[in-house]
Amino acid sequence: EIVMTQSPATLSVSPGERATLSCRASQSVTSNLAWYQQKPGQAPRLLIYGASTRATGIPARFSGSGSGTEFTLTISSLQSEDFAVYYCQQYNNWPLTFGGGTKVEIK
Amino acid sequence: EVQLVQSGAEVKKPGESLKISCKGSGYSFASYWIGWVRLMPGKGLEWMGIIYPGDSDTRYSPSFQGQVTISADKSISTAYLQWSSLKASDTAMYYCARSSTNWFDPWGQGTLVTVSS
């Protein structure tokens, strides 16, 4: 099973600042990596798939990069609605696995 | 609009059985995988398993194999997650989500399952 490790667990950022979230895979997942956002009381929402392709309707301030074992989600200028928990997920191998999440909170 | 609508919250006792549902609309239900994901209180997302309603091909996470059963009825565009004997540790929010290439979009609204004596 591929283990996905996200860091940091919590990221404190001021509105308007840049946020950089990391996700590491225990073995290569090539570019088969997705990112999700989950707000309290809501279902997760797909942000990025294929490591760097934004899903439909996702603002351009969200960008994904990386391949192999190291991936990054960048939010260029945090808006109030972006404070949430973010998860990465690999879909290169069964079983599919999620990272433990990064909570982005207001500084 | 592609939509997944899940059944309502459940409160059960340990040892009871349960089957929750996820109804798809706005797309060809039989042609996309449906996955199930658990979110326990204070924890992260866990992938449980996935089913292809077209032929009922099903894959389970090793962590959930034998603990739950995933099924689907393509005639009514509905997928199911069921337990034969619930435990207190099954208390969680459960989400279904559509998958085309094994990422998930969209997601159902979630079904809260509470198991308590």
Q: Report CB contact under 8 Å: A89, B108.
A: no
Question: Does residue A101 sit at the B interface (CB-CB below 8 Å)?
Answer: yes
Interface of A with B in 34-93 (CB under 8 A): 34, 36, 38, 43-46, 49, 55, 87, 89, 91
What is the C-alpha to C-alpha distance for residues B95 and B43, in angstroms, rounded to an integer?
14
pLDDT in the model for residue B81 = 98
Give the 3-state secondary structure of residue B29.
helix
Element (H, E) at B5: strand B3-6
- pLDDT tens-digit map of A6-41: 999 999 999 999 999 999 999 999 999 999 999 999
Give the 3-state secondary structure of residue A75.
strand
Q: Report CB contact under 8 Å: A96, B50.
A: yes
* Widest distance between CA atoms in chain A: 38
Residue of B nearest to A56 (CA): B105
- pLDDT tens-digit map of B41-57: 889 999 999 999 999 99
| Burial group, residue A31, by CB count within 10 angstroms (0-12, 13-18, 19+) | middle
Q: Report the candidate in B62, B65, B114, B63 with the shortest Cα–Cα distance to residue B90.
A: B114
Res B100 pLDDT > 90:
no
Res B102 pLDDT > 90:
no
Q: Report CB contact under 8 Å: B103, A100.
A: no
Using CA atoms, how far residue B80 sits from B5, B7, B21, B29, B96, in Å, is 12, 10, 5, 13, 9
Phi and psi at residue B76, to the nearest 5°: -120, 15
Decide if B53 contacts B76 (C-beta within 8 A): no
Element (H, E) at A25: strand A19-25
